[in-house]
Copies of this chain bind each other. A is one copy, B any other.
Protein backbone atom coordinates (compact mmCIF):
# COMPACT_ATOMS: atom_id res chain seq x y z
CA UNK A 1 0.00 0.00 0.00
CA UNK A 2 2.80 2.43 0.88
CA UNK A 3 6.23 2.98 -0.61
CA UNK A 4 8.71 0.62 0.96
CA UNK A 5 9.40 1.28 4.60
CA UNK A 6 13.08 0.85 5.36
CA UNK A 7 15.86 2.41 7.33
CA UNK A 8 19.11 3.69 5.82
CA UNK A 9 21.77 2.74 8.36
CA UNK A 10 24.63 4.36 6.47
CA UNK A 11 26.96 3.64 3.59
CA UNK A 12 29.84 1.17 3.45
CA UNK A 13 32.31 1.54 0.59
CA UNK A 14 29.75 3.51 -1.35
CA UNK A 15 26.98 0.96 -0.88
CA UNK A 16 23.88 1.99 1.06
CA UNK A 17 23.05 -0.28 3.96
CA UNK A 18 19.27 -0.45 4.14
CA UNK A 19 17.31 -2.46 6.66
CA UNK A 20 13.68 -3.17 5.80
CA UNK A 21 11.26 -2.25 8.57
CA UNK A 22 7.94 -3.94 9.24
CA UNK A 23 5.52 -1.90 7.14
CA UNK A 24 3.43 -1.11 10.19
CA UNK A 25 6.35 0.93 11.56
CA UNK A 26 6.16 3.64 8.92
CA UNK A 27 3.40 6.08 8.15
CA UNK A 28 2.43 6.48 4.51
CA UNK A 29 3.36 10.15 4.58
CA UNK A 30 6.12 10.94 2.11
CA UNK A 31 9.11 12.90 3.35
CA UNK A 32 9.14 16.45 2.03
CA UNK A 33 11.39 16.31 -1.04
CA UNK A 34 12.73 19.75 -0.25
CA UNK A 35 14.01 18.58 3.12
CA UNK A 36 15.82 15.77 1.34
CA UNK A 37 17.72 18.30 -0.74
CA UNK A 38 19.23 20.08 2.27
CA UNK A 39 22.92 19.42 2.72
CA UNK A 40 24.04 18.22 6.16
CA UNK A 41 22.93 20.13 9.25
CA UNK A 42 22.36 23.82 9.67
CA UNK A 43 25.75 25.54 10.07
CA UNK A 44 25.53 26.92 13.59
CA UNK A 45 24.36 23.81 15.46
CA UNK A 46 27.06 22.00 13.46
CA UNK A 47 29.70 24.34 14.89
CA UNK A 48 28.22 23.80 18.34
CA UNK A 49 28.74 20.05 17.93
CA UNK A 50 32.36 20.55 16.89
CA UNK A 51 32.87 22.68 19.99
CA UNK A 52 31.51 19.90 22.20
CA UNK A 53 33.72 17.30 20.54
CA UNK A 54 36.76 19.48 21.08
CA UNK A 55 35.87 20.03 24.73
CA UNK A 56 35.61 16.28 25.22
CA UNK A 57 38.97 15.77 23.56
CA UNK A 58 40.66 18.50 25.60
CA UNK A 59 38.69 18.71 28.85
CA UNK A 60 41.25 21.05 30.41
CA UNK A 61 41.69 23.46 27.52
CA UNK A 62 40.21 26.91 28.08
CA UNK A 63 38.06 27.13 24.99
CA UNK A 64 37.35 30.60 23.55
CA UNK A 65 34.21 30.75 21.47
CA UNK A 66 34.47 33.20 18.59
CA UNK A 67 32.29 31.09 16.35
CA UNK A 68 28.56 31.63 16.65
CA UNK A 69 27.99 35.38 16.94
CA UNK A 70 26.48 35.39 20.37
CA UNK A 71 26.42 38.46 22.58
CA UNK A 72 28.09 38.19 25.98
CA UNK A 73 27.77 41.52 27.79
CA UNK A 74 25.06 42.32 30.36
CA UNK A 75 21.98 44.18 29.19
CA UNK A 76 21.87 47.71 30.69
CA UNK A 77 19.75 47.96 33.85
CA UNK A 78 17.29 50.42 32.41
CA UNK A 79 16.19 47.80 29.90
CA UNK A 80 15.90 44.81 32.23
CA UNK A 81 14.12 47.00 34.78
CA UNK A 82 11.47 47.82 32.18
CA UNK A 83 11.07 44.11 31.41
CA UNK A 84 10.84 43.18 35.09
CA UNK A 85 8.26 45.92 35.64
CA UNK A 86 6.18 44.51 32.79
CA UNK A 87 6.53 41.00 34.19
CA UNK A 88 5.45 41.99 37.72
CA UNK A 89 2.45 43.83 36.31
CA UNK A 90 1.30 40.54 34.78
CA UNK A 91 0.59 39.38 38.33
CA UNK A 92 -1.83 42.23 38.95
CA UNK A 93 -5.45 42.57 37.90
CA UNK A 94 -4.78 45.99 36.45
CA UNK A 95 -1.50 45.23 34.70
CA UNK A 96 -2.32 41.83 33.25
CA UNK A 97 -2.28 41.71 29.45
CA UNK A 98 -3.04 38.76 27.20
CA UNK A 99 -2.66 38.69 23.44
CA UNK A 100 -1.14 41.80 21.94
CA UNK A 101 -1.48 42.87 18.34
CA UNK A 102 0.09 40.28 16.03
CA UNK A 103 2.08 43.05 14.35
CA UNK A 104 3.48 44.30 17.67
CA UNK A 105 2.56 47.11 20.04
CA UNK A 106 1.97 50.28 18.07
CA UNK A 107 4.08 52.27 20.55
CA UNK A 108 7.06 50.05 19.80
CA UNK A 109 6.41 50.08 16.04
CA UNK A 110 6.36 53.88 16.12
CA UNK A 111 9.52 54.02 18.24
CA UNK A 112 11.32 51.72 15.77
CA UNK A 113 10.22 53.92 12.86
CA UNK A 114 11.32 57.05 14.72
CA UNK A 115 14.67 55.69 15.96
CA UNK A 116 15.94 53.78 12.95
CA UNK A 117 14.14 55.45 10.05
CA UNK A 118 13.88 59.08 11.06
CA UNK A 119 13.19 61.25 8.00
CA UNK A 120 13.11 58.19 5.78
CA UNK A 121 9.32 58.15 5.53
CA UNK A 122 8.84 54.78 7.27
CA UNK A 123 5.59 54.74 9.22
CA UNK A 124 4.73 52.71 12.30
CA UNK A 125 2.21 50.60 10.40
CA UNK A 126 4.95 49.51 8.00
CA UNK A 127 6.96 48.04 10.91
CA UNK A 128 6.08 44.46 11.88
CA UNK A 129 7.60 43.37 15.18
CA UNK A 130 8.90 39.80 15.25
CA UNK A 131 10.67 37.38 17.54
CA UNK A 132 13.89 37.81 15.58
CA UNK A 133 15.30 38.23 12.11
CA UNK A 134 15.85 34.52 11.50
CA UNK A 135 12.19 33.76 12.12
CA UNK A 136 11.21 36.55 9.79
CA UNK A 137 13.51 35.23 7.09
CA UNK A 138 11.64 31.96 7.14
CA UNK A 139 8.26 33.66 7.35
CA UNK A 140 9.07 35.91 4.43
CA UNK A 141 10.77 33.27 2.42
CA UNK A 142 8.42 30.46 3.01
CA UNK A 143 5.03 31.81 3.60
CA UNK A 144 4.83 35.14 1.87
CA UNK A 145 6.52 34.56 -1.43
CA UNK A 146 6.04 30.85 -1.94
CA UNK A 147 8.03 28.50 -4.10
CA UNK A 148 7.48 29.94 -7.56
CA UNK A 149 9.91 32.82 -7.29
CA UNK A 150 13.58 32.88 -8.16
CA UNK A 151 16.20 34.14 -5.73
CA UNK A 152 19.75 35.46 -5.52
CA UNK A 153 22.08 35.62 -2.53
CA UNK A 154 25.44 37.16 -1.87
CA UNK A 155 28.15 34.54 -1.80
CA UNK A 156 29.22 34.12 1.01
CA UNK A 157 26.02 34.75 2.94
CA UNK A 158 24.13 33.94 6.14
CA UNK A 159 23.05 30.34 5.50
CA UNK A 160 19.38 30.72 6.47
CA UNK A 161 18.59 32.51 3.20
CA UNK A 162 19.57 29.54 1.10
CA UNK A 163 18.44 26.83 3.50
CA UNK A 164 14.98 28.37 3.83
CA UNK A 165 14.85 28.78 0.06
CA UNK A 166 15.61 25.08 -0.32
CA UNK A 167 12.98 24.12 2.27
CA UNK A 168 10.28 26.05 0.43
CA UNK A 169 11.21 24.41 -2.83
CA UNK A 170 12.97 27.12 -4.80
CA UNK A 171 16.20 25.23 -5.29
CA UNK A 172 17.15 22.57 -7.78
CA UNK A 173 19.67 19.89 -6.99
CA UNK A 174 22.80 20.50 -4.98
CA UNK A 175 25.97 20.29 -7.05
CA UNK A 176 28.79 18.81 -5.00
CA UNK A 177 31.40 20.12 -7.41
CA UNK A 178 30.49 23.78 -7.14
CA UNK A 179 28.87 23.62 -3.73
CA UNK A 180 25.81 25.40 -5.07
CA UNK A 181 22.13 24.64 -5.61
CA UNK A 182 20.71 24.84 -9.10
CA UNK A 183 18.20 27.66 -9.66
CA UNK A 184 19.75 29.90 -7.00
CA UNK A 185 21.89 32.79 -8.19
CA UNK A 186 25.08 33.23 -6.17
CA UNK A 187 26.48 36.77 -6.31
CA UNK A 188 30.19 36.52 -5.49
CA UNK A 189 31.38 39.15 -3.03
CA UNK A 190 35.04 39.41 -2.14
CA UNK A 191 37.92 41.84 -1.97
CA UNK A 192 38.34 41.56 -5.74
CA UNK A 193 35.03 43.38 -6.27
CA UNK A 194 35.05 45.45 -3.09
CA UNK A 195 32.56 42.96 -1.56
CA UNK A 196 29.84 44.09 -3.95
CA UNK A 197 28.49 41.86 -6.71
CA UNK A 198 29.14 42.59 -10.35
CA UNK A 199 25.55 43.39 -11.26
CA UNK A 200 26.33 43.68 -14.96
CA UNK A 201 26.76 39.90 -15.07
CA UNK A 202 24.08 39.01 -12.50
CA UNK A 203 20.94 37.30 -13.83
CA UNK A 204 17.55 38.71 -12.97
CA UNK A 205 15.75 37.02 -10.06
CA UNK A 206 12.50 37.84 -8.30
CA UNK A 207 14.16 38.18 -4.90
CA UNK A 208 17.61 39.43 -3.98
CA UNK A 209 18.81 38.77 -0.45
CA UNK A 210 21.30 41.41 0.60
CA UNK A 211 22.90 41.82 4.01
CA UNK A 212 24.78 44.96 5.06
CA UNK A 213 26.81 45.30 7.24
CA UNK A 214 27.43 41.83 5.95
CA UNK A 215 27.42 38.61 7.85
CA UNK A 216 29.97 37.02 7.45
CA UNK A 217 32.31 39.46 5.66
CA UNK A 218 31.71 42.41 7.96
CA UNK A 219 31.58 44.72 4.96
CA UNK A 220 29.08 47.60 4.92
CA UNK A 221 27.99 48.55 1.41
CA UNK A 222 28.50 52.18 0.46
CA UNK A 223 25.72 54.53 -0.51
CA UNK A 224 26.80 54.36 -4.13
CA UNK A 225 26.80 50.56 -4.12
CA UNK A 226 23.35 50.41 -2.57
CA UNK A 227 22.05 52.92 -5.11
CA UNK A 228 23.35 50.56 -7.81
CA UNK A 229 21.52 47.70 -6.13
CA UNK A 230 18.23 49.60 -5.94
CA UNK A 231 18.58 50.71 -9.58
CA UNK A 232 19.29 47.11 -10.58
CA UNK A 233 16.23 45.85 -8.71
CA UNK A 234 14.08 48.57 -10.28
CA UNK A 235 15.29 47.86 -13.80
CA UNK A 236 14.61 44.15 -13.31
CA UNK A 237 11.42 44.33 -11.30
CA UNK A 238 13.16 42.47 -8.46
CA UNK A 239 12.46 42.69 -4.77
CA UNK A 240 15.34 43.20 -2.32
CA UNK A 241 15.14 41.52 1.08
CA UNK A 242 17.61 43.64 2.98
CA UNK A 243 19.03 42.32 6.24
CA UNK A 244 20.27 45.15 8.45
CA UNK A 245 20.69 43.14 11.66
CA UNK A 246 24.15 44.71 12.19
CA UNK A 247 23.22 48.31 11.33
CA UNK A 248 24.06 49.52 14.84
CA UNK A 249 27.71 48.66 14.15
CA UNK A 250 28.15 51.07 11.25
CA UNK A 251 30.95 53.49 12.12
CA UNK A 252 31.45 55.39 8.87
CA UNK A 253 28.81 57.01 6.67
CA UNK A 254 27.62 53.77 5.06
CA UNK A 255 23.82 53.62 5.09
CA UNK A 256 22.26 51.89 8.07
CA UNK A 257 19.08 51.18 6.15
CA UNK A 258 18.23 50.46 2.53
CA UNK A 259 15.57 53.12 2.87
CA UNK A 260 18.30 55.78 2.91
CA UNK A 261 18.48 55.11 -0.83
CA UNK A 262 15.95 57.04 -2.94
CA UNK A 263 13.41 54.70 -4.54
CA UNK A 264 14.12 51.81 -2.16
CA UNK A 265 10.60 51.78 -0.72
CA UNK A 266 9.30 50.57 -4.08
CA UNK A 267 11.65 47.60 -4.25
CA UNK A 268 12.75 46.58 -0.76
CA UNK A 269 11.74 44.90 2.47
CA UNK A 270 14.10 45.36 5.43
CA UNK A 271 14.61 42.77 8.18
CA UNK A 272 16.34 43.79 11.39
CA UNK A 273 16.83 42.75 14.96
CA UNK A 274 17.45 43.73 18.57
CA UNK A 275 19.76 40.70 18.97
CA UNK A 276 23.13 42.23 18.24
CA UNK A 277 22.14 45.81 18.96
CA UNK A 278 20.73 45.14 22.45
CA UNK A 279 22.07 41.72 23.44
CA UNK A 280 18.60 40.24 22.86
CA UNK A 281 19.82 36.97 21.30
CA UNK A 282 18.05 35.04 24.06
CA UNK A 283 15.23 37.54 24.69
CA UNK A 284 14.14 37.39 21.01
CA UNK A 285 12.98 40.55 19.28
CA UNK A 286 13.26 41.84 15.75
CA UNK A 287 11.25 43.59 13.09
CA UNK A 288 10.54 43.77 9.38
CA UNK A 289 9.66 46.89 7.43
CA UNK A 290 7.30 46.29 4.52
CA UNK A 291 6.69 49.60 2.76
CA UNK A 292 3.23 50.47 1.50
CA UNK A 293 4.77 51.32 -1.87
CA UNK A 294 6.01 47.78 -2.51
CA UNK A 295 3.71 46.05 -5.01
CA UNK A 296 3.53 42.67 -6.69
CA UNK A 297 3.53 42.59 -10.47
CA UNK A 298 -0.27 42.78 -10.48
CA UNK A 299 -0.31 45.88 -8.28
CA UNK A 300 -1.31 44.10 -5.08
CA UNK A 301 0.46 45.55 -2.00
CA UNK A 302 2.99 43.13 -0.51
CA UNK A 303 2.22 44.62 2.91
CA UNK A 304 -1.34 43.29 2.82
CA UNK A 305 -0.18 39.73 2.31
CA UNK A 306 2.55 40.15 4.89
CA UNK A 307 -0.01 41.35 7.40
CA UNK A 308 -2.18 38.32 6.63
CA UNK A 309 0.79 35.99 7.17
CA UNK A 310 1.69 37.62 10.46
CA UNK A 311 -1.92 37.40 11.70
CA UNK A 312 -2.38 33.78 10.61
CA UNK A 313 0.96 32.19 11.41
CA UNK A 314 2.29 34.27 14.28
CA UNK A 315 0.84 35.61 17.49
CA UNK A 316 3.18 38.50 18.16
CA UNK A 317 6.56 38.67 19.91
CA UNK A 318 6.65 38.11 23.66
CA UNK A 319 5.15 41.11 25.44
CA UNK A 320 8.11 41.03 27.84
CA UNK A 321 10.60 41.32 24.99
CA UNK A 322 8.55 44.15 23.51
CA UNK A 323 8.60 46.05 26.81
CA UNK A 324 12.38 45.64 26.78
CA UNK A 325 12.56 46.79 23.17
CA UNK A 326 10.74 49.98 23.99
CA UNK A 327 13.21 50.69 26.79
CA UNK A 328 16.09 50.12 24.35
CA UNK A 329 14.75 52.98 22.26
CA UNK A 330 14.45 55.43 25.14
CA UNK A 331 17.19 58.07 25.20
CA UNK A 332 18.99 56.47 28.15
CA UNK A 333 18.54 52.94 26.87
CA UNK A 334 19.88 53.76 23.43
CA UNK A 335 22.85 55.60 24.93
CA UNK A 336 23.71 52.66 27.17
CA UNK A 337 23.51 50.24 24.25
CA UNK A 338 25.85 52.38 22.15
CA UNK A 339 28.50 51.76 24.80
CA UNK A 340 28.01 47.99 24.53
CA UNK A 341 28.17 48.09 20.72
CA UNK A 342 31.39 50.14 20.92
CA UNK A 343 32.82 47.56 23.27
CA UNK A 344 32.23 44.76 20.76
CA UNK A 345 33.69 46.91 17.99
CA UNK A 346 36.77 47.41 20.16
CA UNK A 347 37.00 43.63 20.41
CA UNK A 348 36.78 43.26 16.64
CA UNK A 349 39.57 45.78 16.22
CA UNK A 350 41.82 43.77 18.55
CA UNK A 351 41.15 40.66 16.47
CA UNK A 352 41.86 42.49 13.20
CA UNK A 353 45.21 43.55 14.65
CA UNK A 354 46.02 40.02 15.78
CA UNK A 355 45.46 38.53 12.33
CA UNK A 356 47.18 41.44 10.60
CA UNK A 357 50.25 40.83 12.75
CA UNK A 358 50.42 37.37 11.17
CA UNK A 359 50.58 38.98 7.76
CA UNK A 360 47.01 37.94 6.98
CA UNK A 361 44.36 40.13 5.41
CA UNK A 362 41.55 40.66 7.90
CA UNK A 363 38.43 42.37 6.55
CA UNK A 364 35.41 43.69 8.41
CA UNK A 365 35.53 44.63 12.09
CA UNK A 366 34.98 48.33 11.40
CA UNK A 367 31.27 48.40 10.62
CA UNK A 368 30.46 45.00 12.05
CA UNK A 369 31.32 42.70 14.93
CA UNK A 370 32.81 40.15 12.53
CA UNK A 371 36.31 39.78 11.20
CA UNK A 372 36.71 37.94 7.91
CA UNK A 373 40.20 36.55 7.59
CA UNK A 374 41.72 35.41 4.34
CA UNK A 375 43.90 32.30 4.21
CA UNK A 376 44.61 32.25 0.47
CA UNK A 377 44.62 28.84 -1.13
CA UNK A 378 43.65 26.99 2.04
CA UNK A 379 40.55 25.03 2.88
CA UNK A 380 38.49 26.94 5.41
CA UNK A 381 37.59 23.76 7.32
CA UNK A 382 41.31 22.97 7.55
CA UNK A 383 41.99 26.44 8.89
CA UNK A 384 39.09 26.12 11.32
CA UNK A 385 40.51 22.83 12.58
CA UNK A 386 44.06 24.13 12.78
CA UNK A 387 43.05 27.19 14.80
CA UNK A 388 40.90 25.05 17.08
CA UNK A 389 43.64 22.46 17.64
CA UNK A 390 46.48 24.93 18.14
CA UNK A 391 44.73 27.73 20.04
CA UNK A 392 41.46 26.25 21.36
CA UNK A 393 39.62 29.09 19.66
CA UNK A 394 36.37 28.34 17.84
CA UNK A 395 35.83 30.27 14.59
CA UNK A 396 33.56 29.53 11.65
CA UNK A 397 34.90 28.14 8.38
CA UNK A 398 33.96 30.50 5.56
CA UNK A 399 32.83 27.57 3.44
CA UNK A 400 29.83 27.25 5.75
CA UNK A 401 28.57 30.51 4.24
CA UNK A 402 28.76 29.25 0.69
CA UNK A 403 31.46 28.44 -1.85
CA UNK A 404 32.49 32.11 -1.93
CA UNK A 405 33.65 31.75 1.68
CA UNK A 406 36.29 29.15 0.84
CA UNK A 407 39.72 30.24 2.04
CA UNK A 408 38.28 32.42 4.83
CA UNK A 409 37.23 32.06 8.45
CA UNK A 410 34.80 34.30 10.29
CA UNK A 411 35.87 35.39 13.75
CA UNK A 412 33.33 36.99 16.07
CA UNK A 413 34.08 40.02 18.20
CA UNK A 414 31.43 39.06 20.75
CA UNK A 415 33.12 38.17 24.04
CA UNK A 416 34.46 39.53 27.29
CA UNK A 417 37.43 41.80 26.67
CA UNK A 418 39.87 39.69 28.66
CA UNK A 419 38.94 36.63 26.60
CA UNK A 420 39.40 38.57 23.37
CA UNK A 421 42.82 39.75 24.57
CA UNK A 422 43.70 36.18 25.49
CA UNK A 423 42.48 35.03 22.06
CA UNK A 424 44.56 37.72 20.41
CA UNK A 425 47.67 36.50 22.24
CA UNK A 426 47.06 32.90 21.27
CA UNK A 427 46.40 33.87 17.65
CA UNK A 428 49.59 35.90 17.41
CA UNK A 429 51.45 32.71 18.29
CA UNK A 430 49.52 30.57 15.81
CA UNK A 431 52.47 30.05 13.52
CA UNK A 432 55.23 30.11 16.10
Digitize A296-317: 1 where CB-to-B-CB distance is under 8 Å, 0 elsewhere.
Answer: 1111100001001101111111
A318 vs B129: C-alpha distance in the bound complex, in angstroms? Answer: 14
Residues of B within 8 A of A6 (CB): 298-299
A326 vs B296: C-alpha distance in the bound complex, in angstroms? Answer: 45
Look across to chain B and name the residue whose beta carbon is closest to the beta carbon of A206: B29
- A214 within 8 Å of B (CB atoms): no
Residues of B within 8 A of A13 (CB): none
Digitize A241-276: 1 where CB-to-B-CB distance is under 8 Å, 0 elsewhere.
Answer: 000000000000000000000000011000000000
A314 vs B313: C-alpha distance in the bound complex, in angstroms? Answer: 13
Oligomeric state, in number of copies? 2
Residues of B within 8 A of A378 (CB): none
Q: Is the CB–CB distance between A99 and B3 below 8 Å? A: no
A169 vs B311: C-alpha distance in the bound complex, in angstroms? Answer: 18
Residues of B within 8 A of A147 (CB): 147, 169
Q: Is the CB–CB distance between B90 and A74 below 8 Å? A: yes
| A75 → chain B closest CB, angstroms | 5
Q: Which residues of A101-148 have CB atoms within 8 Å of chain B's CB atoms?
A: 102, 131-132, 134-135, 137-138, 142-148
Partner of A29 from B5, B134, B149, B281 at Cβ < 8 Å: B149
Q: Is the CB–CB distance between A143 and B146 below 8 Å? A: no
The binding surface of chain A is classed by DSSP as loop
A145 vs B70: C-alpha distance in the bound complex, in angstroms? Answer: 31
Residues of B within 8 A of A35 (CB): 144, 146, 305, 308-309
Interface centre among A206, A267, A311 (most CB of B within 10 A): A311
- A41 within 8 Å of B (CB atoms): yes
Digitize A74-89: 1 where CB-to-B-CB distance is under 8 Å, 0 elsewhere.
Answer: 1111011001100110
List 26 A-B residue pairs with CB atoms under 8 Å apart, sorted by A's residue number. Answer: A2-B237, A5-B298, A25-B266, A26-B297, A26-B298, A27-B294, A28-B238, A28-B297, A29-B149, A29-B296, A30-B297, A31-B300, A31-B305, A35-B305, A70-B99, A73-B96, A74-B96, A84-B84, A90-B282, A90-B283, A98-B414, A143-B167, A167-B312, A282-B318, A283-B318, A317-B318
